[in-house]
Amino acid sequence: MKRNRQIKVGVRRTRLKQKLEMTLEELTMYLNELIDNNPVAILVLDPKHHVQMCNPAFERLFQYAREELMHANLEDLITTNDLTSEAVGIWERVLRGEKVYASTKRRRKDGSIVEVEIYGIPLVIKRKLIGVYGIYHDVSQRKEAEMEVRQLSAQLLKLQDEERRRIARELHDTTAQKLVALNMNLTKLKALCAGTGPEAEAAISDSLDLVEESARELRTLAYLLHPPTLDDMGLTSAISWYARGFAQRSGVQVNLDLSSDFERLPRDVETMLFRVVQEGLTNIHRHSGSGSASIHLAADAEQVVLELSDQGRGMPVNLQGATVEQLGVGIAGMRERVRQLGGRLEIVSDQHGTMLRVLQPQPGVSE
Ligand SMILES: Nc1ncnc2c1ncn2[C@@H]1O[C@H](COP(=O)(O)OP(=O)(O)OP(=O)(O)O)[C@@H](O)[C@H]1O
Ligand SMILES: [Mg+2]
């Protein structure tokens, strides 16, 4: 044991000695290797904004040779006119000692535009600010992929809307009509079978009840899937109208608290909020077991707030805070619709009920 410890202490001492023996030259070489081989574009600017040093990744990213960059004013080379003041602002903040992050665009030598994340770090040596480090990360591919995903989900949501409209029409026009016919036939049969014995009569009564129940469920389903008539009505009236229809069909009592002094919101925001009401009420009907629901809608100059709550059993514990893949299409779709318009969806759920809240900034106000 003791010998082992002695060996360990010995090894540690040797390592420490080796470290101390690293000469300044070695350290510089080590640092240069790290910067030269770094895949991330790095440069150093002096306080007057002239390039003091840059690595090969920087040359590759912006297509300038080191000789062209050295001592040049950086923004003359890589910043488009419309972003000059933004770039100057970034470096002024860094020169005041702040670490700055920016997600923006810069120009390559051939004029093409590259999406970059910039980290500006004050370069302080012996407590004196002698310049700034700039780290440039090319995020064009990531941005492009994000854009594609966003477009794809917008397209999927549109397809979902169309598909629902189709299913609602189909249910209403064909299946519901057939149930009406079935109901008529059974009623006729009931009359014909009168007096043929309790078993046949009970079976027919049962069947009639089943048909009526199925027709009611189908009507609720078709109603829940049906597209809103928002354009003429406006959001507040559409929600009241829809909630009334929902309450009649589902038996869930809906309390409304909708602010009336409401300007019309942009069409896509109204559609999104309506969809959340529709999807939320569908969930309340299907999952909550609650006999009542409340919808609250209010707006101020900053944001629109929509709250939809029930007094039901709450979401299963394993789903609270669940990831998108674990949830159904409903909540994931709502979240995506809200996100696409710059808003936020919050869900609070426990054994006393569930509340959905949408916080949507007013047009021109960013969160
Ligand atoms: N108001 C609610 N009360 C209780 N549980 C809920 C409520 N809303 C949602 N849930 C639970 O969250 C799950 C996910 O809801 P989501 O709307 O995403 O999917 P879904 O309703 O199951 O299916 P889909 O909406 O795709 O038809 C539901 O399956 C249900 O377990
Ligand atoms: Mg759902």
What CATH number is associated with residue 252? 3.30.565.10
> Does residue 259 fall inside a structural domain?
yes
Which CATH number belongs to the domain containing residue 125 in this structure? Answer: 3.30.450.20
> How far does residue 137's CA lie from ligand 2's centre (Å)?
40
Query: Is the distance from the beta carbon of residue 353 to the nearest atom of ligand 1 less than 6 Å?
Result: no
Residues 298, 309, single domain; the answer is yes
**What letter would DSSP give residue 302?**
S
| Residue ID of nearest Cα to ligand 1 atom 11 | 315
List 357's β-bridge partners, or say none: 307, 346
Q: What is the C-alpha separation between 209 and 202, in angstroms, rounded?
A: 10
What pLDDT sits at residue 343?
A: 94
| Residue ID of nearest Cα to ligand 1 atom 22 | 328
Q: What is the count of structural domains for the chain?
A: 3
Query: Is the distance from the beta carbon of residue 348 to the nearest atom of ligand 1 less than 6 Å?
Result: no
Residues 160, 235, single domain; the answer is no
State pTM to two decimals.
0.64
Residues 354, 265, single domain; the answer is yes
Q: What is the C-alpha separation between 278 and 308, in angstroms, rounded?
A: 10
Residues 55, 88, single domain; the answer is yes
| Residue ID of nearest Cα to ligand 1 atom 26 | 329
Q: What is the C-alpha separation between 29 and 47, in angstroms, rounded?
A: 25
Query: What is the sign, positive or negative, of the torsion defined by CA atoms of 129, 130, 131, 132?
Result: negative
Cα radius of gyration rounded to whole Å, the chain = 33
| Residue ID of nearest Cα to ligand 1 atom 25 | 330
Q: Which atom of ligand 1 is nearest to the CA of 288?
A: 3
What pLDDT sits at residue 121?
A: 95
Vertex 76, ends 70 and 81: CA angle to 5°?
160
> Does residue 3 fall inside a structural domain?
no
What pLDDT sits at residue 320?
A: 60
Q: Which atom of ligand 1 is nearest to the CA of 316?
A: 31
- Does residue 54 sit in helix, strand or coil? strand
Residues 172, 246, single domain; the answer is no
Contact residues for 35 (Cβ-Cβ < 8 A; gap 6+):
42, 55
Residues 153, 96, single domain; the answer is no
Q: Hunting for tokens 């000469």 — which residue is that? A: 23
Residues 158, 253, single domain; the answer is no
Structural domain for 181, as ranges: 140-227
> Does residue 5 fall inside a structural domain?
no
Contact residues for 207 (Cβ-Cβ < 8 A; gap 6+):
186
Residues 261, 342, single domain; the answer is yes
Q: Hunting for tokens 């030598």 — which residue is that? A: 109
Instruction: For residue 184, give the nearest of 213, 208, 219, 205 by alpha carbon.
Output: 208
Of the candidates 227, 257, 273, which is a domain's last residue? 227
| Residue ID of nearest Cα to ligand 1 atom 1 | 284
Backbone angles phi, psi at 108, to 5 degrees: -90, 170
> Does residue 147 fall inside a structural domain?
yes
**What letter would DSSP give residue 356?**
E
Contact residues for 148 (Cβ-Cβ < 8 A; gap 6+):
none
Test site for ligand 1: of 275, 285, 287, 348, most ligand atoms within 8 A of the Cβ: 287
- Ligand number nearest CA of 351 is 1
What pLDDT sits at residue 31?
A: 85
Q: Which atom of ligand 1 is nearest to the CA of 313?
A: 4
> Does residue 190 fall inside a structural domain?
yes
> How far does residue 363's CA lie from ligand 2's centre (Å)?
28
Please list the pLDDT of the chain residue by residue as tens digits (367 residues): 677 788 888 888 888 777 777 677 788 888 889 999 999 999 999 988 899 999 999 999 999 999 999 999 998 999 998 998 999 899 889 988 899 999 999 999 999 999 999 999 999 888 888 889 999 999 999 999 988 988 888 888 888 888 888 888 888 888 888 998 999 999 999 998 888 888 888 999 999 999 999 998 888 888 878 755 677 788 898 899 889 988 988 889 999 999 877 778 888 898 899 989 999 999 999 999 999 999 999 998 889 999 999 999 999 876 666 555 556 778 888 988 899 899 999 999 999 999 999 999 988 776 5
What pLDDT sits at residue 233?
A: 80
Residues 195, 286, single domain; the answer is no
Of the candidates 81, 105, 138, which is a domain's last residue? 138
> Does residue 308 fall inside a structural domain?
yes
What pLDDT sits at residue 357?
A: 97
Residue 103 one-letter amino acid: S
Secondary-structure percent of the chain, ordered helix, strand, coil, rounded to 5: 55, 20, 20
Test site for ligand 1: of 331, 337, 345, most ligand atoms within 8 A of the Cβ: 331
Q: Which atom of ligand 1 is nearest to the CA of 283?
A: 8
Q: What is the C-alpha separation between 315 and 79, in angstroms, rounded?
A: 51
> Does residue 11 fall inside a structural domain?
no
- H helices within 22-112, ranges in order? 24-36, 56-62, 66-69, 74-78, 84-95
Query: Is the distance from the beta carbon of residue 293 to the nearest atom of ligand 1 less than 6 Å?
Result: no
> How far does residue 346's CA lie from ligand 2's centre (Å)?
15
324 near 335, Cβ under 8 Å?
A: yes
Q: What is the C-alpha separation between 216 and 48, in angstroms, rounded?
A: 76
> Does residue 202 fall inside a structural domain?
yes
Residues 204, 243, single domain; the answer is no
Of the candidates 227, 258, 275, which is a domain's last residue? 227
| Residue ID of nearest Cα to ligand 1 atom 9 | 283
276 near 330, Cβ under 8 Å?
A: no
Residues 244, 359, single domain; the answer is yes
Query: Is the distance from the beta carbon of residue 310 to the nearest atom of ligand 1 less than 6 Å?
Result: yes
Residues 79, 46, single domain; the answer is yes
- Strand (E) or helix (H) holding 323: none
